[in-house]
Structure 1
Amino acid sequence: MTAIHTKMTDGRALCLRPLQDGDAALIEAGIIALSDRSRYLRFFSGFKQAPPSVLTLLTDFDEDHLAWGAVDASLDDKPAIAAAHIIRTDTLPDTRGDFSIAVLDDYHHQGVARALMQCLFSDALTDGFIHAEFDVLRENKAALSLFKWLGGRTLTAAGNVVHMEIDIQHALSVMGAPR
């Protein structure tokens, strides 16, 4: 497993690495550590603790599920602060994956999401993914802005949910080389 060491925008040390089976507890703790608002924007739900079905989906790693996580390496306990996933599903062609990302509130606007997406999308291309699909709540203006900057386009919109896609190669070219 290859770890990448870089810095956040404010200079704090950031470590990124692929997630693996033994990381289930970190993922669960990260979901709990999200603010109620961020948890709602990410999962479209008010749950405090993720239901078992969500944890199973996010921690069942195989050739169809790529995931990267980030820790704050500037702190002694190196807490998990973010994760990004792309998962092949039965409802999408093999070149498309269901994408998700979550970053703890205290780490927003620090380049964490960008760094995670660069790692995840690079691996995804190697594994044959071409597009990432995902749902975003209309009220999540920050996510919509980020995804539009990356070339994301709306596939469908129903009620409060926008279903989008990103061309992974294009997104990587927009983000540029990792810092």
Structure 2
Amino acid sequence: MTVIPASGERVHALLADGTTVCVRPARPDDREAVLGLYSAMSDANLRLRFFAVSRRSAEQAAARVAQPEGAGYRALVAERGGRIIGIAEYQTGCGEASDSAEISLAVGDGRHHRGVGTLLLEHLVSAARAHGIRTFAADALAENHEVLKVFADLGLRTERRFEGPEVHCVIPLDDTEEYRSSVERRGQAADVASLVPLLRPGSVAVVGAGRRPGSVGRAVLHNLSTGRFTGPLYAVDPAARPVLGVRAYPAVSALPRIPDLAVIAVSAEHVAQVAGECGRFGVRALLVVSSGLDAHQSGALLTACREHDMRLVGPHCLGVANTEERVRLDATFAAAHPAPGSAGVAVQSGGVGIALLGGLERL
């Protein structure tokens, strides 16, 4: 379900490709960042947005976010890596009782076809409904097929009226089953896309594999190796000597390729630092088996994952496994490999997970 960002609140959400953005209300101090979004647009996209290649229109649009929230105006921005990559706005009519609002939408060059605009509109719909708005209206150039498709695919009924080179769209904000289903389908598809690097990784690195028998990192590396993981497998160890026959590298940044999944098995005080290194290198998913993180260390780990767009399982977990023949991923420290089958299990407790694996094996 789409969450309405409250004043100043940041909501992290998944795009269609499984990557993460932050959706939040625009602030007066966003003016320069919004202007930067428009300034970086091509002339073609500026014309589609403002109906003319107008830098003056871009300046006026950026200036709108500096006005205090209220008076029928609201703007939401999508932010990634500290940069604004999209903005959606509505403005009601002159009367305070107006239940209709004009909307506008802009997504930065190179960010199209990832669901940024659709996600922003979902949040804008929720915000508008909460303020008593029942209808959106928008004008677009008839050739602006992308934004017209965004409107059409929302799951809300869209009425179109062609007026020369322009299209006037009216979108009733009825809370229909079709709209709720559309939002849910988009969310599910984004969830699945985001979990691919975690559950079907093409390559895996174990950071903190450990040379001491009995260490958790060494046990995970052993299971990955003996479970015959189908992709490249690496160990990260300061000594850069092979561990259990797996080639090791002194740092994440020294790996010959970016692993889809990194298993982190270092001491608690180093987890967030390693997570940051993984994020900067381009790792998409983290599995943290390290335990003993305090609130500050856990917060720093979560911040690193959000900053670098990584999915996270852990900390202090048993691991993840996928017995598909094309994957054969056993990134756990369980005593035995899980057998292939039709059951899938997700549990909060590692102890319960181990017991369930044993029970399923006996069955």
For normalisation by structure 1, the TM-score amounts to 0.85
Find the counterpart in structure 2 of residue 43 from structure 1.
50
Q: Which residue of 1 aligns with 2:171?
A: 166
How big is the shift at 1:30? 1.0
What's the CA shift string for 1:15-74, capped at 9, x where partnerless?
A: 11011222111111111122211111111111245465444345424321111001113x
One-letter amino acid matched to 1:2: E
Match of 1:97 in 2: 101
Larger Rg: 2
Would you say the 8 A contact 1:95–1:129 is kept in 2?
Answer: yes
Separation in 2 of the partners of 1:16 and 1:60? 19
Partner of 1:71: 79
Contact 1:125 1:169 in 2 (8 A): no
- Residues 117 and 150, structure 2, Cα contact 8 Å, conserved in 1: no
Question: 1:106 is paired with a residue of what secondary structure?
Answer: coil
Shift of 1:117: 0.9
Partner of 1:16: 23
Aligned 8 A contact 1:96 1:129 in 2 = yes
Q: Do the aligned residues in 1 keep the contact of 2:28 with 2:65 (CA within 8 Å)? A: no
Shift of 1:134: 0.7
Between the aligned partners of 1:27 and 1:137, the Cα distance in structure 2 is: 22
Identity of aligned residues (%): 24
Contact 2:11 2:22 in 1 (8 A): yes
2:37 aligns with one of 21, 26, 30: 30
The DSSP-based 3-state class of the residue aligned with 2:110 is helix
Structure 1 Cα separation of the partners of residues 96 and 52 of structure 2: 24
Residue in 2 that maps onto 1:110? 114
SS in 2 for 1:124: helix
* Partner of residue 125 from structure 1, selected from 107, 126, 129: 129
- Runs (4 or more) in structure 1 with deviation over 6 Å come to none
How far apart, CA to CA, are the structure 2 residues paired with 1:106 and 1:91?
38
Cα gap change, 1:19/1:175 in structure 2, threshold over 3 Å: closer, same or farther?
farther
Which segment drifts farther, 106-115 or 50-59? 50-59
Please say if 1:56 is aligned against 2:63: yes
Contact 1:31–1:49 (CA under 8 A) maintained in structure 2: no
User: Are 2:87 and 1:83 aligned?
Assistant: yes
Is the contact made by 2:32 and 2:62 (CA closer than 8 Å) also made in structure 1?
A: no
Distance 1:18 1:41 in 2: 24
2:44 aligned partner, one-letter code: R
CA root-mean-square deviation: 2.3
| Letter in structure 2 aligned against 1:72 | R
Deviation readout 1:132-153 (Å, 9 max, x if unpaired)? 1010100011222222233211
- In structure 1, the residue matched to 2:294 is none
- Structure-2-length-normalised TM-score: 0.44
| Contact preservation (8 Å) 1:132, 1:165 | yes
Separation of aligned partners in 1, 2:59 and 2:111: 26
Higher relative contact order (CA 8 A, sep 6+): 1
Which structure 2 residue ranges, 5 or more long, are not aligned?
Answer: 1-7, 188-363
CA shift at 1:104, angstroms? 0.9
SS class of match (2:49): helix
